[in-house]
Amino acid sequence: MSGVATRPEAATTPVSVQLTPIVPIRVFDAHGEYFDTEMDIDAPLRSLQLAIEDYFKVKPEVQLLLHNRQQIHADRSLRDNGCLLLKGDPYVKLVCLLKRGPVLNLQCEVGPITYVVACHEMATVWEVKKMLCEEMERQQRRAAPP
């Protein structure tokens, strides 16, 4: 019989916990691809933004969202943005929305089908509706047998 199992003080010995300002972060894009990194909780998020642009090969604008879909501010730190590790979760989860200049790729879900419409950021709702209808017609023509 092992002496470790018979000593009650071995089971009650406290384990030291060291708090660190370095926080693990998992960054997701809209397609579910992700990468893991870590940063100081008080460092500005611009450094993380540059890492995201480098990893996903997108410049210049990245919008960061928390796991609860609230936008975060890149000029502030994780702490100032209210990012907290959830109990039992090893990562602060951030979702990045990648924007490439003034053209927006809108994903329009119509029933079970998703249509992608590329429109200018200044387009009106009416113009976007018209582009969506044109894209739906285009895809239906492609799907129809000749």
Instruction: Give residue-wise pLDDT tens across range 106-143.
Output: 777 777 887 878 777 677 777 888 888 898 898 888 88
Q: Give me the pLDDT at residue 46, please.
A: 76
Beta-carbon contacts of 81 under 8 Å, excluding residues fewer than 6 positions away, are: 45, 66, 72, 73
Q: Burial, 4: exposed, middle or buried (Cβ in 10 Å; 0-12, 13-18, 19+)?
A: exposed
The fold for domain 22-99 equals: Ubiquitin-like (UB roll) (3.10.20)
Residue type, 81: N
Instruction: Give residue-wise pLDDT tens across range 20-55.
Output: 788 888 888 777 788 888 888 888 877 887 888 888
Domain ranges of the chain: 22-99, 103-143
Is the predicted pLDDT of residue 1 greater than 70, yes or no? Answer: no
Instruction: Give residue-wise pLDDT tens across range 66-107.
Output: 766 677 777 788 788 777 666 667 777 777 776 555 666 677
